[in-house]
């Protein structure tokens, strides 16, 4: 195998339970995630690759690769980046990181989730709509009718007359809609924690203050809420999404006022729970803001580990 890799000019990176080809792109993205400019990240990743090839290395342990990256950063006078790289690698190695990204339909939770996964090297991204679909296969519509509606029209399936609730019917419907999905979300979190695997979960059903309190007390579970203050920009997102997916724009626009009401409800809950709220106007800016939040959290985790 070693001879074959040398013939193919391939370097294999060996982890605890996997083996994969060295990728300049993956290394560059991980460096970008900790604050290095993309051009600098790719240049440094190319330098690492050249060094490995010059030394005739065809297979390297992940830990050894990370050590080389760390010391190479130091030789290039990227001391701050080097320390942050070491911190991130150590935390991700020792702790499963669970990132929860909430927000109303159309604010961009899935886009940010997949971009973060790419930057952080987290292999699993789960949408709460997919979790809802799995739950629907095991619970009949007669038993939990709101589960068979969307978040913005779940109020139509409320069993009691709207007047009996004494508050906004759309928000009551939304709350009833997310309750059974939260059971699935919490189950996935518990399994990830038990297995020591990192995951990003995104979607409308993640609302700060409604999930079990124990998750908000865990430093390695990071919750973020996205929003769009501009209603016009929010509408434009639905139009853009309709061009690349099978989801028709019309039903979102028809229910836009309710979706905005849900957006405000999620944001208010987030602020009350001291959960970070990010204006998702620019994808790159939003990702960088989330990465800063994650970096701050990683420092607190390291401090706890050292106590």
User: In this predicted model, what pLDDT tens digit does every residue of 201-246 receive, in sequence order?
Assistant: 999 999 999 888 888 888 899 999 999 999 999 998 888 776 666 6
pLDDT band at residue 15 using 50, 70 and 90 as cut-offs: confident
- The rounded distance, in Å, linking the Cα atoms of 101 and 112 is 8
Describe the strand order of the beta sheet including 277-279 as a list of residue ranges: 125-127, 199-203, 98-102, 221-227, 277-279
Tokens 């997310």 -> residue = 178
In the predicted structure, residue 98 carries a pLDDT above the cut 60: yes
The predicted model gives 96-111 an average pLDDT of: 94
Interval 234-252: pLDDT, tens:
998 888 776 666 667 788 8
Residue 8 has pLDDT above 50, yes or no: no
User: pLDDT band at 1, cuts 50/70/90?
Assistant: very low
List Cβ neighbours of 58 (8 Å cut-off, separation of 6 or more): 2, 5, 6, 10, 11, 12
- pLDDT at site 276: 95
Give the separation between CA 86 and CA 199, rounded to whole angstroms. 21
pLDDT of residue 174: 93
pLDDT given at position 113: 95
Model confidence over 249-270: pLDDT tens digits? Answer: 788 888 999 999 999 999 999 9
Which of the residue ranges 35-39, 110-114, 257-261 would you say has the lowest mean pLDDT? 35-39
What is the spatial distance between Cα 211 and Cα 208, in angstroms, rounded to a whole number? 7
Q: How far apart are CA 109 and CA 72, in angstroms?
A: 35
With a cut of 60, say whether residue 21 has pLDDT above it.
yes
Q: What confidence score (pLDDT) does residue 166 get? A: 58
| pLDDT value of position 10 | 80
Inter-helix orientation angle 62-75/79-94, to 10°: 160
* Contact predicate 126/133, CB 8 Å: no
Q: What is the pLDDT of residue 242?
A: 66
pLDDT of residue 122: 84
Residue by residue, DSSP assigns the chain as -HHHHHHTT--EEE-SS-EEE--HHHHHHHHHHTT--HHHHHHHHHHHHHHHHHTT--EEEHHHHHHHHHHHHHHTT-HHHHHHHHHHHHHHHHS--EEEEE--TTS-HHHHHHHHHHHHT---EEEHHHHHHHHHTTS-TTT-GGGGS-TTTGGGG-SS-GGGT-S-HHHHHHHHHHHHHHHHHHHHHHHHHHHT--EEEEETT--TTTS-HHHHT-TTEEEEEEE-S-HHHHHHHHHHHHHHSS--SHHHHHTHHHHHHHHHHHHHHHHHTT--EEE-S-HHHHHHHHHHHHHHHHHHHHHHHH-
Q: Check residues 163 and 57 and name the one with the higher pLDDT.
A: 57
Q: Contact at 8 Å (CB) between 224 and 99?
A: yes
pLDDT at 4 over 50: no
């Amino acid at each position: 195998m070693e001879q074959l890799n040398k013939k193919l000019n391939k370097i294999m990176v060996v982890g605890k339970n996997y083996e994969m080809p060295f990728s300049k792109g993956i290394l560059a993205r991980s460096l970008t995630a900790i604050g290095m400019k993309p051009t600098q990240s790719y240049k440094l990743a190319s330098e690492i690759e050249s060094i490995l090839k010059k030394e005739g290395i065809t297979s390297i342990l992940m830990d050894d690769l990370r050590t080389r990256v760390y010391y190479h950063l130091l030789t290039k006078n990227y001391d701050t980046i080097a320390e942050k790289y070491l911190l991130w690698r150590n935390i991700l190695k020792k702790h499963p990181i669970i990132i929860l990204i909430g927000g109303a339909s159309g604010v961009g939770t899935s886009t940010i989730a997949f971009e973060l996964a790419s930057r952080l090297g987290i292999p699993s991204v789960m949408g709460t709509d997919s979790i809802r679909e799995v739950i629907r296969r095991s619970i009949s519509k007669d038993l939990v009718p709101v589960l068979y509606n969307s978040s913005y029209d779940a109020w139509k399936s409320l069993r009691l007359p709207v007047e009996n609730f004494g508050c906004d019917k759309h928000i009551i419907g939304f709350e009833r809609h997310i309750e059974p999905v939260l059971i699935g979300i919490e189950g996935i979190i518990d399994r990830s924690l038990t297995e020591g695997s990192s995951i990003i979960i995104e979607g409308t059903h993640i609302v700060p203050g409604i999930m079990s309190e124990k998750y908000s007390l865990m430093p390695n579970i990071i919750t973020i809420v996205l929003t769009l203050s501009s209603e016009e920009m929010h509408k434009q997102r639905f139009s853009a999404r309709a061009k690349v997916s099978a989801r028709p724009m019309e039903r979102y626009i028809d229910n836009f006022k309710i979706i905005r009401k849900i957006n405000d409800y999620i944001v208010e809950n987030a602020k009350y729970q001291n959960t970070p709220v990010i204006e998702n106007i620019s994808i790159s800016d939003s990702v960088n803001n989330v990465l800063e939040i994650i970096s701050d959290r990683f420092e607190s985790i390291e401090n706890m580990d050292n106590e």
